[in-house]
Amino acid sequence: MVSTLNQKSTSATARAPDDILMSRVRAGHPAEFRPLYHRHYPAVFAYALTCARTSLDAYELTLQAFTETLQRLIGGERPKDQLAGSLRLQLMDCLRTIAVRKCARDGEGFSSRFREWVADGAPWPLQEREQFTLAWEKSSRETRCLLWHTVLDRDEPLLASRITGIAQPSIEDTRASTLSSLRYGRMALYLGRMDILPECREAIQTLAVQPNYPAPLHHAYACESCYEAYQDIAHLDARLEAHLPGHLLGWWPALEYPVLKASVTSPPSDPPFLERAIQQARTAYDHGTKATGPLAALRTRVGLAIAGFALGATLGAVVTHALLDGHRGNGKAVTSDLIDLQQQHD
Ligand SMILES: [Zn+2]
């Protein structure tokens, strides 16, 4: 067991899809978390920037979200059903939970918009499209993972390929066929309604095959019942992008987030917190298999790693607060600067 746990990340590991790496982490191989950290860091840090006041505040939130998510994986916790299949969503959900909790205690490190949202009770967007969301929730974990990374979060094809395990040349075709399946799922939900009229059924069935056919199109625009279903079916990718992130995460600054994500690069090396968490989880696993059971020991050790990180980050915040304030608009600089600073404090 020790020899496999001591393996460093290999190129094969770096190419493994998210679900395989997450399974390995759950099985007691915490070092397999490294490629997951690098894949998802830019998105999670960008999401943190939408909540935080400064880059350093965002960096703290980001590292806490990664650490807690690593801890949950090691502990074998099941994610919420609607987030299953996507580590990115689990990380963002974790980050928002941490941010809301911290902001409710002290709003100092948060943007004014985020503070206002929390002060209002952190409300979720109203659920206006129940059937549309239902079609999403009925789809498989693999489908939701693919759609999140290709349609909703719009990752580069290479990154989406790494995350999903689908070969890059096949990503676009797989995305199109997946959207098509979801489109039929949405239509089936509408056609399955007890109160649907025959002319509505006929119009929607025709439009699913011929989206611009004049007579049913005219019906869809004139019929209140068909209009929403038609829009969901005809413009599924745009509807997904517009409604699902808010439904899944609550806090979703749709305009700000993609701009910030495009400006952030993955860190060139592992941050000290990650090495420490992995090392301590590995040690705890070795001890745990001989004594009290691996999961309890891992949770204790990784919890200590979080505490250690929090102390380091707080010290860092005191020293570097003024230096980092002006970096918010330049994520590429921020990432490496923050890691250098974190290493200095480690
Ligand atoms: Zn109708």
Domain boundaries of the chain, sorted by first residue: 1-124+252-346, 126-249
Q: What is the pLDDT of residue 124?
A: 84
Q: What is the pLDDT of residue 293?
A: 44
Separation of CA 236 and ligand 1 centre (Å): 18
The per-residue pLDDT of the chain, averaged, comes to: 80
Separation of CA 131 and ligand 1 centre (Å): 16
Q: What is the pLDDT of residue 223?
A: 94
Separation of CA 213 and ligand 1 centre (Å): 15
Using left for φ > 0, alpha for ψ between -120 and 50, and beta otherwise, residue 85 falls in: left
Can you tell me the distance from the alpha carbon of 157 to that of 168, in angstroms, rounded to the nearest whole number?
A: 6
> Which of 97-106, 135-144, 258-267 is predicted with the least confidence, judged by mean pLDDT?
135-144
Query: At 190, is the pLDDT very low, low, confident or very high (cuts 50, 70, 90)?
Result: confident
Query: At 7, is the pLDDT very low, low, confident or very high (cuts 50, 70, 90)?
Result: very low
Can you tell me the distance from the alpha carbon of 61 to that of 317, in angstroms, rounded to the nearest whole number?
A: 12
Q: How far is CA 50 from CA 62, 132, 154, 163, 332, in A?
A: 12, 27, 17, 24, 16
Contacts of 119 (CB under 8 A, 6+ apart): 107
| Range 287-311 average pLDDT | 47
Separation of CA 346 and ligand 1 centre (Å): 64
Q: What is the pLDDT of residue 138?
A: 79
pLDDT tens profile 306-341: 444 443 343 333 333 333 333 344 444 444 445 444
Separation of CA 109 and ligand 1 centre (Å): 50
Can you tell me the distance from the alpha carbon of 186 to that of 27, in angstroms, rounded to the nearest whole number?
A: 37
pTM of structure? 0.78
| Range 293-307 average pLDDT | 47
Separation of CA 218 and ligand 1 centre (Å): 10
Can you tell me the distance from the alpha carbon of 67 to that of 27, in angstroms, rounded to the nearest whole number?
A: 17
Top pLDDT among 226 and 339 is at 226
pLDDT of 88 strictly over 60: yes
Can you tell me the distance from the alpha carbon of 293 to that of 277, in angstroms, rounded to the nearest whole number?
A: 18
Can you tell me the distance from the alpha carbon of 338 to that of 344, in angstroms, rounded to the nearest whole number?
A: 10
Contact 177, 169 (CB under 8 A): no
Q: Where are the alpha helices (DSSP H) in the chain?
A: 2-5, 11-15, 18-26, 33-51, 55-75, 87-105, 112-119, 130-138, 141-147, 157-164, 171-191, 198-209, 214-222, 224-234, 236-249, 256-262, 272-290, 294-324, 331-345
**DSSP-assigned letter for residue 52:** B
Q: What is the pLDDT of residue 242?
A: 84
Separation of CA 195 and ligand 1 centre (Å): 11
Q: Which of 45-54, 74-83, 179-188, 198-207 has the highest mean pLDDT?
A: 45-54
In the numeric block, the tokens 């995305």 are attached to: 175
